[in-house]
Amino acid sequence: MDKSVRPAVLQAISSIRERYFEPITLADLASEVFVSRFHFSRMFADATGVTPGRFLTAVRLFEAKRLLLTTSLNVSDIVCSVGYSSVGTFTSRFSRAVGMTPTQYREPQVAELLVAISPTLRRLPPLRTLRAAGRNCASLQSGTGELAIQLDLPSGSAPADTLVGLFADPVPQCGPVAFTGMANVHSAELTINGAPAGQWTAIAVAQHQPGAAGPRFSIAYSTVHVAPHGRSATRIALRAPAPTDAPIAITLASKQSPFTQRMLADARPHLRAVA
C-alpha cells in the first residue's frame, strides 16, 4: 500500500478499536480521515484484506468473546458494551457466526482450547493440546485431502508452539475445518490430514519461547488449495502481528469433535479461565 495513505488506515483502525461500542458508520470513518467513502473503503480493504464493516464486526465479536470468557457480566450487559442494541439480534448473529450460543461459549472447554490474537490478548492452547493435534488432527468436516505445509518462522525468532488451521473465512469466528499443531518447533513441515477439498484460508499462529530478539507471537495468512485426493503442498512465512490484522478469537472446542472430547477427558482436572 502507498505509504501516503497508510496513516489514514491506521487512524481509522484506531478509531474502530477505541469506539467499537458506538454506532460507527462508514461515513464517520471516511470523514475522520478526509477521504470519500468509496476511496476509504478501497484503501482500507487493500491494507487489511476486509471491508471496514467486517473489521468493525470482528472487533465487536472479539470483545464479546473476551467478556464472555473473562467476566461474569450477563449477556444483555455484554451486548450493550460491544455496540449492539438488541439481545436477540446479537444472539442470532453470534450463534450463526460462532456455531455456539453466547451461553455455550462460556463452557470451560471453550477457554481451554482458545486461540486468540489481538493487541490485548494473545494465546494458544496448552502444549498437550498441540501435541495431541500433531498426533491426530481432528477435522470438523470429513475430508480425504492431505496438506503439507512448510512453515518459516521469522528470522532470528525462538522456537515456537505452532498451530495451523484451515478456515472458510479470512476472519474466522468459528473453528477450523481441519487443523494440526506442533510444540517447540522452528521452521518445519506440518501435515494436515483429513482436510476437505477446496480453497481455504490457512492461518498459522506461533507462540515463541522467551529469550530471543524476535517476536513473542507470529502469524500468517495464506490462501491454499486442497486436492480431493492425494497430497497438496504450500509454504507459509510467519511474521509479527500488524495493526492491520483483524482480531481473532476461535476455539478448537466443538461438541461434535472427537478431538474436543479427548482433550476434555485429559484436561478436565486442570481447566482454567483465560486471563
Q: Measured in whole angstroms, how far is the alpha carbon of residue 104 from the centre of its chain?
A: 19
Q: φ and ψ at 51, to 5 degrees?
A: -75, 160
C-alpha angle 86-175-143 in degrees, rounded to nearest 5: 135
Please name which of 233, 247, 246, 170 lies closest in space to residue 201, comparing C-alpha atoms: 170
pLDDT value for 265: 53
| 195 within 8 A of 178, measured Cβ to Cβ | yes
- pLDDT tens digit at each of 275 positions of the chain: 444 447 899 999 999 999 999 999 999 999 998 989 999 999 999 999 999 999 999 999 999 999 999 999 999 999 999 999 899 999 999 999 999 999 999 999 999 999 999 988 898 988 777 777 654 444 455 688 999 999 999 988 999 999 999 999 999 999 999 998 888 888 889 999 889 999 999 999 999 988 777 789 999 999 999 999 889 999 999 999 999 999 999 998 865 554 455 554 554 444 333 32
What would the grid cell of residue 238 be?
A: 510467519
For 259, the 3-state DSSP assignment is helix
Q: φ and ψ at 262, to 5 degrees?
A: -65, -45
Whether 111-270 and 6-106 are alike in CATH topology: the answer is no
Q: Name the burial class of residue 144, with classes exposed (0-12), middle (13-18) and buried (19+) by CB atoms within 10 angstroms of its CB.
A: middle
Helices 52-70 and 6-19 pack at an angle, to 10 degrees, of 40
Q: Which sequence spans correspond to the domains of the chain?
A: 6-106, 111-270
For domain 111-270, the CATH class is mainly beta
Asked: is 6-106 a CATH 1.10.10.60 domain? The reply is: yes
CA gap 42, 207 in Å, rounded: 32
SS3 content of the chain, % helix, strand, coil (to 5): 35, 25, 35
